[in-house]
Structure 1
Amino acid sequence: QSSSIYITLTIIGFFFTGVPGSMVVTWTTFNKTESKVEYSFLGGRHFEMTANGDATLFVDSGEEQRHMYIHRVTLTGLKPAAAYVYHCGSDKGWSDAFFFAALNDSTNFSPRFALYGDLGNENPQSLARLQKETQLGMYDAILHIGDFAYDMHEDNARIGDEFMRQIESIAAYVPYMTCPGNHEATYNFSNYRNRFTMPGQTESLWYSWNLGSAHIISFSTEVYFYLEFGLELLFKQYEWLKKDLEEANRPENRAVRPWIITMGHRPMYCSDDDQDDCTMFDSYVLHITTHKNVEFVSFTGVDLELWAHEHTYERLWPVYGYKVYNGSKEQPYVNPKAPVHIVTGSAGCREKTDMFNPNPKDWSAFRSTDYGYTRMQVVNTTHIYLEQVSDDQYGKVIDSIWVVKESHGFSAWF
């Protein structure tokens, strides 16, 4: 018999694969079965189309060496913005029916995101609000910026199973895009590598994708902290990132998708008082970049950098090298002269929220210790809107900004 199916609906390399209109459905069973998705246009005859895939055996490294099968099925030829209903499984058992809208592949599309990190199996305070808003159709994609479940490997990976069931009511409806965090490190990130399906061939550790007028890059900050797993990933990611940014900055590509947005778990800057890396002037994530790391990103005209790890929300003024480069005193985010950083790691987990240093640096613009998450809309080629939702205050928007750029790229900073 099939047992305990849960589903993660994720995007598959929309544009850089050359196959528009594709989605990957990922789910898990505890015995070997076929991998099948039946789907149809919402409102039509149910499940009149079928796609087949395959399953990969994942053996957790805990004491019980639990076996599970990770199923992946790619849906192709989806019509942009069309609504579909689907279920997955096999003749041994089927999931519930879910629905999704295929992503619009137009560069004029204005995608809406929810973004957050550090969402746990225990105390997932923002989860209910995110579940409801997702099913109301408020988001086109989710960005989960590291740290899942706390922790997926615990109790012989049963915490990972339960967490995936918890987010199913989000991840089965919209693309659930991820990057690894420090809480995924056990057994060399094996639960993360196996449970999620991101674009590219890097086991979801780093990748990029396009949506609307944005090129979105996800990378691993963890390759700089878990050197016991080898230096190879550090150098591989750097070479990949360098090549990806060079391609994104080609004039013909930047003209079509001028926004470059990055997401990585551990921030370059923060003003928390927990002595994490970002609280220190010689922050590892910030300073190793001078040679072969992420600050290289800033030299390539990246517009917006999204982080988590700190269990707080912090919006920075446009900053580079610890110095503020506002567009102007009156309109700091209009034609800023450096990247805009957002730290959003307060979705809710067993470690609670963090505290702030009472004396923030000049680059810190707004801070909150409320549980919550961030919304973002890439409105067009010149405007991005961001707002912070407080779950403690029943969904109140406690902070918002417009980032406006009339020109993009490193040269726009001068």
Structure 2
Amino acid sequence: MNLISRTTFLFFILFLVGFSLGIQDVNTEKQPKTIKLTLTDKPDQMVISWYTISSVGSPLVQYSLSKNGLKASHSLSKVRGGTSQVFTVNGTSQQYDSSSDWIGTVHSVTLQGLQPMTTYFYQCGGSESQVYSQILQFKTSNFNTSPNTVTPFVAAVYGDMGYGGGFNNTVAALISNLAKYSVVFHVGDISYADYDKVEQGNQTVWNDFLQVLEPITSRVPYMTTPGNHDVFYDFTAYQQTFNMPGSSSKPWYSFTYNGVHFISFSTESDLAPFTQQYQWIKNDLEAYRKQNPDGWVIAYAHRPYYCSTQYDWCRKQTLRALIESTIGELFQNYNVDLFMAGHTHAYERTVPVYQQLPIGNYEYPGGTIHFTIGTPGNQEGLDTNWVIPAPSWSAHRNAVLGYAELNVVNGTHILWKMISSIEQTVMDEQWMVKGYFD
């Protein structure tokens, strides 16, 4: 081969390598990341959302009862053939505001008309990019029953998870036990992305953390509520990332799952009487109780209003007292059975309590039972200092790395457990019977 031929051949090889790397870069920017499932207020729906660096055209999800059906087709139309029928649903995309230093696009697709208690396989991607996620799966709830009928399920619950503090042990425990969970509740403080950029938040921390959680969030509905470390960028990053039920402009919502009514509200927003959020909570509880006087109602938000660590939030009568005097009264009036929160990095379970006094017991509760579960791990560590002696309403407290399991057994009984992340042993366990407050 002469010199000219060798030079031409070398340039050709370099061109191919560069072209290949360019394709890989483009594909990486269009690859679906941080894939999440979210329930809506309609039980036959499932929202699938994800993030890409670059635009992908029209975002879409293909889903089927058959994993093989998805492998066989990336068509934009229905592919019929028994259980291999493949459906494609288009969605919407929203770029982060140009006034921020966040880049990329969040995509969202809502699947409708799903069948109860059914496993679906899905992929997400874009009409132009033709870059798809791996094939994933989820299972729908049992909504083919009367509103008062409870179908047993188990949920994982925790708040205040971020890099550090052994959080990787909690993530590993959740993944290894994922088959038993129908839904996961993350009650605020998601990644602590505001640590070095308080106003705007650190997008790298946010995205990298959510990517670590993707084996969970892409397979089980991941229901969230905002914490004080999630309000950066004026709630925008949180609300664009987590497509919760109801209006995307407000960080509060409710839904009914397997016969249990869940209501989530924002302790980072105004809760004073006659505010928009307070009135919404009141209206939601009133409407549900009119139709379902005997059903379970479980509320969750970030900040607890019964806790007994030395943390300032628990000791000082500030916003905590306001929540107790406003939301606490609504909980009592409308028979809210359980309240799940985080914020303080410890675990605590109360007896049924109202106005700082125990009322009834776990077999005959006369007030809401409160759970604080801020122990999955983060860079701030655990809160190990407690108010001594423990208040009369505090039944169990510890500062062990872990998370909780909410086991709804039927319409009258719930089993609650606190699980250590490393040993995966039960640190606390309590049965509760459905109560009726006077």
TM-score by length of 1: 0.87
- Which amino acid in 2 is paired with 1:69? T
- Is 2:316 aligned against 1:287? no
What is the aligned counterpart of 2:173 among 123, 129, 136?
129
Who is 2:54 aligned against? Answer: 31
> Aligned pair 1:261/2:298, yes or no?
yes
Taking the aligned partners of 1:218 and 1:152, their CA distance within structure 2 comes to 22
Specify the SS of the correspondent of 1:254: coil
The one-letter amino acid of 1:274's match is Y
* In 1, Cα distance between equivalents of 2:293 and 2:181: 25
The one-letter amino acid paired with 1:145 is V
User: How far apart are residue 61 of structure 1 and its match?
Assistant: 5.6
Check if 1:199 corresponds to 2:245. Answer: yes
CA distance in 2, matches of 1:359, 1:170: 39
Larger radius of gyration: 2
Over 3 Å counting, the alpha-carbon distance change for 1:220 and 1:345 in structure 2 is same
Partner of 1:82: 118
Indicate yes or no: 2:391 matched with 1:381.
no
Q: Paired residue for 2:45, among 22, 26, 32?
A: 22
TM-score (norm 2): 0.82
Following superposition, the deviation at residue 140 of structure 1 comes to: 0.5
Task: Report the more deviating stretch, 40-49 or 73-82.
Answer: 40-49
- 1:242 aligned counterpart, secondary structure: helix
Write out aligned runs for 1:263-342 (5 A): 263-276=300-313, 278-280=314-316, 282-290=317-325, 292-326=326-360, 332-342=361-371
- Which residue is 2:180 aligned to? 138
1:17 counterpart residue number: none
Structure 2 residue 76 is the aligned partner of structure 1 residue 41: no
Find the aligned partners of 1:122 and 1:59 in 2 and give their Cα distance: 29
> Percent identity, aligned pairs only?
33
**Does the aligned pair in 2 maintain the 1:310–1:345 contact within 8 Å?**
yes
Q: Aligned residue for 1:238?
A: 278
Q: Give 1:102 deviation, angstroms.
A: 1.5
* Match 1:9 to one of 31, 37, 47: 37
Q: 5+ unaligned residues in a row in structure 2: which ranges?
A: 1-25, 74-85
Amino acid at match of 2:113: G
The structure-2 alpha-carbon separation of the partners of 1:116 and 1:204, relative to structure 1 and needing over 3 Å to count, comes to farther
Query: Number of aligned pairs?
Result: 382
| C-alpha distance in structure 2 between counterparts of 1:316 and 1:309, whole Å | 16
Question: CA contact under 8 A between 1:116 and 1:345: conserved in structure 2?
Answer: yes
- CA distance in 2 between counterparts of 1:398 and 1:289 reads 28
CA contact (8 A) 1:9 1:175 kept: yes
Describe the shift of the 1:296–1:72 C-alpha distance in structure 2 as closer, same or farther (beyond 3 A): same
Which whole-Å CA distance do the structure 1 matches of 2:392 and 2:223 have between them? 32
Check whether the contact 1:285–1:294 (CA below 8 A) recurs between aligned residues. Answer: no
CA RMSD after TM alignment: 2.1
Given the superposition, is the C-alpha separation of residues 61 and 319 from structure 1 closer, same or farther in structure 2, using an over 3 Å criterion?
farther
**Mapped contact 2:51–2:107 kept (Cα < 8 A):** yes
Shift in Å at residue 248 of structure 1?
1.1
2:15 aligns with none
1:94 is the counterpart of 2:132: yes
- Give the C-alpha shift of residue 242 in structure 1: 1.0
8 Å CA contact 1:287, 1:295 repeated in 2: no
Residue of structure 2 aligned with 1:103, choices 130, 141, 149: 141
Equivalent AA in structure 2 for residue 260 of structure 1: V
Cα offset for 1:361?
0.9
- Selected match of 1:369 from 380, 396, 399: 399
Verify the 8 A CA contact 1:111 1:211 in the aligned structure 2: no
Tell me by how many angstroms 1:293 deviates. Answer: 4.2
The question of whether the paired residues in 2 share the 8 Å contact of 1:268 and 1:283 is answered with no
Deviation at 1:364, TM superposition (A): 0.9
| Alignment deviations for residues 151-178 of structure 1 (CA, whole Å, 9 cap, x no partner) | 2685741111111101111010011001
> What's the CA shift for 1:208?
0.4
Give secondary structure in 2 for the equivalent of 1:166. helix
Q: Would you say the 8 A contact 1:24–1:72 is kept in 2?
A: yes
| C-alpha distance in 2 between matches for 1:43 and 1:94 | 14
Give SS of 1:126's match: helix
Find the counterpart in structure 1 of residue 232 from structure 2.
186
Match of 1:390?
Answer: 420
How far apart, CA to CA, are the structure 2 residues paired with 1:204 and 1:30?
Answer: 26
